[in-house]
Structure 1
Amino acid sequence: MKLLPYAIVVVFLALIAFTVIYLSKKIIYIFGIESTRLVYITFSLLPLIFMVVSGVFTNATGMIGHILYKTASVTMGIYLFVLLSFLVADGIGIFVKLKPSTFGLIGFGLAFCITLFGYWRGASIQITPMTIPMEGLTKKVKAVHLTDIHIGHFRTNGFLQEIIEKTNAQNPDVVLITGDYLDSEYALKEKYFEPLKQIKAPVYFVDGNHDHATNMDSIYSLMKKVGVHVLENEKATFGELQIAGLTHMLADRNSFDMHASDEKPTMDEVLPTLKMIKERPTILLHHAPNGIKYANEHGIDLYLTGHTHAGQIFPFNFVANMIFDYNRGLHDYNGTKILVSEGIGTFGPPFRLGTKSEIIALDLIPKH
């Protein structure tokens, strides 16, 4: 487990090197470029620029940083789509000999279409209905699960307003938010929290890694100001339901998560302190889908989480599947249900491919 961070870095750098060499060769081939050095330098710089700009300007609040972050993010999304499109064109070339101009037409044309589709897919919020029986419930509870909204450089109040309208349309009894409400200090303003007052049900919130990277104290304060119940390693009661909420943390001291600090308490340390009543139907809110065995040990019936974005953009869904035991959807662990939402917003490039932006509408019903 200790070698995992290094293995991830090595694999990532190897993939970047492959994309630089592959795309450079294809551009040279398509356009018949004789002086190739500039092409290789350009494609070597693009990933480097994205990483530097995204690191430096993620929390930019000024207009210049805002524009630089958005430009770098969109550019890297297109970079990936051009790579995928050229690979498809190469696949076609196995069966049909393609001239350089034809290869370029197919590759760039497909990349253009994928870019438009990916942007539309990322901005299109879907409702995912789900019915979950729960031991101890005597009457149905309608809940809405929201996660990874990522209000920031790309998603602002228009997007938030759509989420609220779609949420209210489900007529929920309760709304549960599992972190990453913001992804940048660019949106750390009261106007991006005020619309939450329009939600026609009690709202419970736990933080995510991007909330921490933004400014956790300010987010807590702004959430409370608009009437949201913030759960910071504590439990609450809503009707027959017991709702436990954890801050973003590791499962235990032997776990690795690049987004969670090992200086903070862990799930196996915090859950016993909540002294949950196992006989009551219990929901756990936590940002990342880890520590399921500890949730199970403490009588959690339903574990609501997000964080993964299901990989957000193909082929990263396969990477997310390797990293997370539970990457998307509903699963069962010894009687504890864990529901991993694909999230609503996006981080980095504002695209989705092979995943969806979802609001989960839950019907929690008595288990007979």
Structure 2
Amino acid sequence: MNFMVVIMSLIIIFIYIAMWYYVGRNIKKIFQHRKINLKIYWAVFWIMAFAYIISRLVSSILTVNNIVSVIFSFVGAITLSLFIYLLLGFLISDLFRVVFKIIKLNEKYKQKIRSIYGNGLIVLIITAIIVCSGFVVALNPKTTEYKININKAIGNKQSLNIVLVSDVHIGIGVRERGIDKMVDSINKLQPEVVFFAGDVFDESSTTALKEYYSQACKKINSKYGVYAITGNHEYFQNFDESIEYYKKANITVLQDEVVKVNNQFYVVGRKDTASESRTNEKIKSLDILLRNIDRNLPIIVLNHKPEDLKSAENEKVDLQLSGHTHNGQIFPGNIIIKKVFEDPYGYLKKNDFNLVVTSGYGTWGPPIRIGTQGEIVNIKMYGNK
């Protein structure tokens, strides 16, 4: 088994290096008429290619995020986003080159295409424009609103004003200014209850940023409080520290726990499946979590991943709130993700069960969004009273 893991790892590394070399060779062609030191070029190129991996290695060895890992994380994230579209651009260009040979395109047209292509310069320019625009989009999350009707009374209230935030990924893309903007945006919606659905922190979240988050979130104004669950990324590094800063922010963290809020509704916080590898304990099933509750009250489930939907429907859950998917974050990821989850983004209703999946506030890895947009979700949940 271990032997197979080693073989598969070596194959993945080989493919990764081969793809980067393909991109690097094509970039080199752009500057073939200029004098460049090839040793320096390839040295810088490979450092950028492995920057994100280097950042993770440095961070794991030192157990904390220091300036070296932060710098390499940022450089690596940017180069990964460039790499994705440069790879696609050069592959498409080579495909057209093969097609033109097969159809024997007129030499005059070939010459025009070559002049436009400019040895690949057009691919580099288009990629730069795409990535820059994606960076701007990532810095400007929107507010998405849903109106949901449930078949239960919400105490003596007509509706409940909910704000959902997920996948903030404090670190590379969201720093102090982004945290302040997020808190201001939440408060403008005048929420009655606020939910963080996991991955507020990840491997790039420094202790200083966690501290800033905890202080900023104390300013959230919410009638019934702020509740959170952990996502998969919180388990990858400094889990206990992350929980500590959630609590310092006056946020109630639910780990396979249920709370009754103001005798009006239940909030169920589920552990992410990533916890199983950390604790060697199975997460609790939904039926066990709900066995002693009053089913006449609305049930809101926080589950980081939009999964276990059948159980939620069977257990008469009224509303499940999820994130994790980022809606693919970078095109064509938003197309691919639809093959993985039944509902990777937006609103799904099945009988009396409602699901809302957010694209998340921040980004993981490359601080860009292409074909998707970050968001804060405002849900008006109306009861049948």
RMSD: 3.4
Report the equivalent of 1:198.
Answer: 219
Letter in 1 for 2:135: Y
Shift of 1:293: 1.5
Deviations 1:158-181 (A, max 9, x none): 101101111111111111111111
Q: Which moved more, 1:322-331 or 1:107-116?
A: 322-331
Task: Tell me, in whole angstroms, the C-alpha distance in 2 between the residues paired with 1:24 and 1:66.
Answer: 24
Once the two structures are superposed, the pairs formed by residues 1-368 of structure 1 within 5 Å of their partners are: 16=16, 19-20=19-20, 22-24=22-24, 26-27=26-27, 29-32=29-32, 47-57=49-59, 60-87=64-91, 97=110, 98-99=113-114, 102-138=118-154, 139-183=158-202, 184-187=204-207, 189-201=210-222, 202-239=225-262, 240-249=264-273, 263-268=280-285, 271-275=287-291, 276-367=293-384
Any idea what the Cα deviations from partners look like across 1:254-285, whole Å, max 9, x if unmatched? xxx9x9658232352x5413423322211100
Pairwise CA distance, 1:119: 0.5
- Structure 1 residue 17: Cα displacement: 6.2
Q: Tell me, which stretches of 5 or more residues in structure 2 are unaligned?
A: 101-108
Contact 1:134 1:366 in 2 (8 A): yes
Number of paired residues? 356
Structure 1 unaligned regions, length at least 5: 251-256
Paired AA for residue 20 in structure 1: W
Moved more, 162-171 or 98-107: 98-107
Flag the 1:10–1:288 CA change in 2: closer, same or farther, 3 A.
farther
Distance 1:284 1:117, change over 3 A: same
The structure with more radius of gyration: 2
Percent of pairs identical after alignment? 25
- Once the two structures are TM-superposed, the CA of residue 153 in structure 1 deviates from its matched residue by 3.6
Tell me, yes or no, if the aligned pair for 1:182 and 1:214 is still in contact at 8 Å. Answer: no
1:308 is displaced (CA, Å) by 1.1
Instruction: Give a deviation string over 1:74-100, Cα, whole Å, max 9, x none.
Output: 111122232234356567776863226
Cα offset, 1:22, TM superposition:
4.1
Contact persistence 1:185–1:214 (CA under 8 A)? no
Shift of 1:249: 2.2
Structure 2 residue matching 1:130: 3-state secondary structure: strand
Separation in structure 2 between the aligned mates of residue 115 and residue 363 of structure 1, nearest angstrom: 35
Shift of residue 226 of structure 1?
Answer: 2.8
The one-letter code of the counterpart of 2:378 is A
SS in 1 for 2:331: coil
Distance 1:114 1:160 in 2: 25
Residue aligned with 1:190, SS: helix
